[in-house]
Structure 1
């Protein structure tokens, strides 16, 4: 046998190496890359770059190589880099840091410093920070710039940072503004009234068509209670206008006027905000609007309950001082002679703090509206109906609430819990401390007082504190199908004795009637003679 024909058995080590290499050369069907090629590229990059701490950076190098394989390159010379979240945020905030045309001149800057309604948000944040309240300085400065952008683009004469309401998907930054006289844009209000009128017209047309074509079942005689009208712009719950945006740099959106139905229904439900103004409110009882209306109603409720000021900072004018004691006062003016109250006295009791926003009645308005009041035409039309019905319905009793500038000491407790909590910013140096006030009824509402300066702010979810678990109200009882009475109530059949007694009574009554008729005829004949 020749040497070529001799079979040399393979070396077990070489066979194991070949099998291992074959296993590593297997490609993944979804990616088309083998582990052998990937390791070869990682090792090649390590040998080329020779970084320090190779063992610690091995996983990062492997991820980079995987990412580069599947990264789309639009150009062979430049890579298409992904936009990082930090860069996206910088692009949004870039608008806030840019100056408009003519803003860089010294004259424009002097006029802006003298006449601007822009509040000093950074100074207020400094005071609130001493009391442990506020946002980060970076976010506060961005809100400061966003308010400046709002004032530069809208004819606003007063502006105040109201606060921030948290949402599930996005938050709301709220600004309380007051437009200049004659420049208030009421297009939204007019559109709302037109939509309401169109809805009423459609309903009337459907009712008329139903009467003409299909008589249908008998109609109900139930008349719903009259709708309570909303308060006019710049009065009551609509005294101020509120603008919101989700983040600094995004456009500001004006909230619509609040209706009494929005406030009364918001008191019965409890909903988190989503961060989308057009989101529907699914609740019971049904809310008559979307999230923008619900947000505006909650802002009105929070403002009426938590906007406070030191006693004596505001006072009623001379005209209102001459009014009768029972008349409701709806305005006030700043007291120029106010010298401030020491912070130590501000935390001793709640009598040194007062409410300076009108109370909202259970009706949903700050000024009570008599629902029985009717126009002259309606009164003339219903005069005949009221005569037929008989007595007029009783007049509703007017709703009365606490007047303006009522001390906080008169606020009701919440299940044996005080409605407010006061504290000093520091007890080590009380002569330089500030007094802070926190609402327990609306968690997230705060106020501070330092000499002649004070401010209110809200950071929260827009929900009222409830000592008990919330449970939706039950639906109203089912209406009766028909009135219960003797006319429709089934009675038992009479017995034979009862029938005979009834027949005898009827005969006696008939005989008595005939006798009366005969006597009357005889009297008439005698009179004729």
Structure 2
């Protein structure tokens, strides 16, 4: 209480004003505000706004200024808002719903082999199969983008394979011959050129005489398991990725393992036997197996092609054409008998191909030395050719596995049978469905890409380890003899030689006496 009195008594007015200003500019420890700046802002707002009865609202103005300042300070502490997963997905799907320009609309009027979205979605919904109306619509719009970007002649929704991390939407299209085959041939030539050769070495290293089993060649594009080309994407709106061709070795190994896909195409496939490739190749092998076992159609819809000659009647036919005179099969009959359904995709043989190749026949040109070595070797027995069921075989001839029928039939509705569709479900590949109604049918697969194995899955047992070398007297090393033993052996070998010479001399003397 003494300091203000001392200031009033001993200080002039200017010093006293400076002292009071410094006091008013002291910041608060709670709000970090000072009285001087606050009064200044309040007076400026009163002068700018000139409210009626300013003395009555001065408290409200002061409170609003404090609240606005605290909100500004709080906003600086908040993180910037991040887009949610739904917003990111909406941004991806937004491009699917962009309307084309007038020029594009004129091009769309040209007829293209693109599936009818509304019709297929309706029948799949009646059959109790599908992905929902919204997702099916987005998928078909994504297929439309794929057709336009790749200039495909035909494209259809093959199905959806579920994964542990993400899923794969699979599209099936016809193969287009062109630059891709030339690029693959160029890559194979580069691999052959880059192969190391040690012919220029002065002292070549000894080479192993082991010859691995010949690799079964893969089928050409547009034939067999590589008849169609497949594209996959994780979500509608994301870019489509083309899968490579499948090889017989990949199909053979895929039959021996049981794996879920992860959703990453570059993920390794850890299994026994080792799979030759990553998840991209494994996914392609499973698609080929599922297609060969579950792609079906009504009997009479397709007709076998006439490209085969009369001499090749025993070989399975690999071509077919649409029957223009097909009038359809009654739905009630298709829902009761499997003989009204047929396979229109070739069966994959145990060799991993749809057409068998005789691996005993040497393919390619061999050198003279290799030809001589092959002549010295014994000719192996001629293998029996593998023959599968011909194309358009009825489903009634399919065999049961683990006492389980391969197919199940039903009608989509028992109440309105005249408008119902026949629904076919595969029990060996859970998730594979087909429907047929009058002259229309469609196949789809929605599952984990794993075949039914009966009981619990048992992986293949590794083979027994091979022996390092055969044990026998011809290989076992003897102990070195002592000098005494060597001398005895030498004398024992000389005694028969001396006795033989004495016998020869006696015979010569007898002959001389006879001559005399």
TM-score, with structure 1 as normaliser: 0.74
SS at structure 1 position matched to 2:230: strand
Asked whether the 8 Å contact 1:238–1:258 carries over to 2, the reply is yes
Change (3 A) 1:380 1:451: farther
Change (3 A) 1:376 1:271: closer
Residue among 385, 388, 393 paired with 1:401: 388
CA-CA distance at 1:135 after TM superposition: 0.6
| Deviation larger for 96-105 or 156-165 | 96-105
Residue among 235, 243, 253 paired with 2:241: 253
Residue among 164, 167, 177 paired with 2:163: 167
Instruction: List per-residue Cα deviations over 1:386-445 (Å, max 9, x = no partner).
Output: 3433x3122222111111111111111121110111111111122221111111111111
Change (3 A) 1:187 1:509: same
Distance across 2 between alignment mates of 1:515 and 1:102: 120
Distance across 2 between alignment mates of 1:386 and 1:523: 58
Structure 2 residue aligned with 1:342: 330
Distance across 1 between alignment mates of 2:457 and 2:511: 82
Distance across 1 between alignment mates of 2:263 and 2:189: 27
Distance across 1 between alignment mates of 2:304 and 2:262: 40
Change (3 A) 1:313 1:258: same
Residue among 425, 429, 434 paired with 2:412: 425
CA-CA distance at 1:317 after TM superposition: 2.9
Asked whether the 8 Å contact 1:262–1:294 carries over to 2, the reply is yes
Q: What pairs with 1:54-203 in structure 2 (closer than 5 Å)?
A: 70-72=77-79, 81-103=81-103, 105=105, 107-111=106-110, 115-180=111-176, 182-183=177-178, 185-186=180-181, 189-190=184-185, 193=188, 196-197=191-192, 201-202=194-195
CA-CA distance at 1:81 after TM superposition: 4.1
Structure 2 residue aligned with 1:240: 228
Unaligned runs of 5+ in 1: 1-24, 27-43, 49-63, 73-79, 493-501
Asked whether the 8 Å contact 2:301–2:323 carries over to 1, the reply is yes
Distance across 2 between alignment mates of 1:133 and 1:449: 13
Aligned pairs, number: 443
Distance across 2 between alignment mates of 1:348 and 1:265: 36
Residue among 403, 412, 424 paired with 1:416: 403
SS at structure 2 position matched to 1:176: strand
Change (3 A) 1:148 1:474: same
Structure 2 residue aligned with 1:221: 209
CA-CA distance at 1:193 after TM superposition: 2.8
Distance across 2 between alignment mates of 1:452 and 1:516: 106
Residue among 340, 345, 348 paired with 1:352: 340
Change (3 A) 1:260 1:179: closer
CA-CA distance at 1:69 after TM superposition: 6.9
CA-CA distance at 1:267 after TM superposition: 1.1
Aligned alpha-carbon RMSD (Å): 3.9
Distance across 2 between alignment mates of 1:97 and 1:520: 117
SS at structure 2 position matched to 1:457: strand
Quick check: which has more Rg, 1 or 2?
Answer: 2
Structure 2 residue aligned with 1:372: 360
CA-CA distance at 1:155 after TM superposition: 2.0
SS at structure 1 position matched to 2:96: coil
| Deviation larger for 299-308 or 184-193 | 184-193
CA-CA distance at 1:133 after TM superposition: 0.6
Is 1:274 equivalent to 2:262 in the alignment? yes
Unaligned runs of 5+ in 2: 1-28, 31-59, 65-70, 480-488
SS at structure 2 position matched to 1:96: helix
Structure 2 residue aligned with 1:483: 470
Residue among 278, 287, 295 paired with 1:307: 295
Distance across 2 between alignment mates of 1:398 and 1:263: 18
Asked whether the 8 Å contact 2:305–2:321 carries over to 1, the reply is yes
Structure 1 residue aligned with 2:483: none
Instruction: List per-residue Cα deviations over 1:76-127 (Å, max 9, x = no partner).
Output: xxxx54323322212111111113444454x33422xxx2121113311211
Change (3 A) 1:102 1:192: farther
Structure 1 residue aligned with 2:22: none
Distance across 2 between alignment mates of 1:364 and 1:318: 25
CA-CA distance at 1:251 after TM superposition: 0.8
| Deviation larger for 466-475 or 222-231 | 466-475
Structure 2 residue aligned with 1:451: 438
Asked whether the 8 Å contact 1:155–1:179 carries over to 2, the reply is no
SS at structure 2 position matched to 1:377: coil
Asked whether the 8 Å contact 2:315–2:387 carries over to 1, the reply is no
CA-CA distance at 1:380 after TM superposition: 4.8
Asked whether the 8 Å contact 1:189–1:257 carries over to 2, the reply is no
Change (3 A) 1:314 1:490: same
Distance across 1 between alignment mates of 2:82 and 2:311: 68
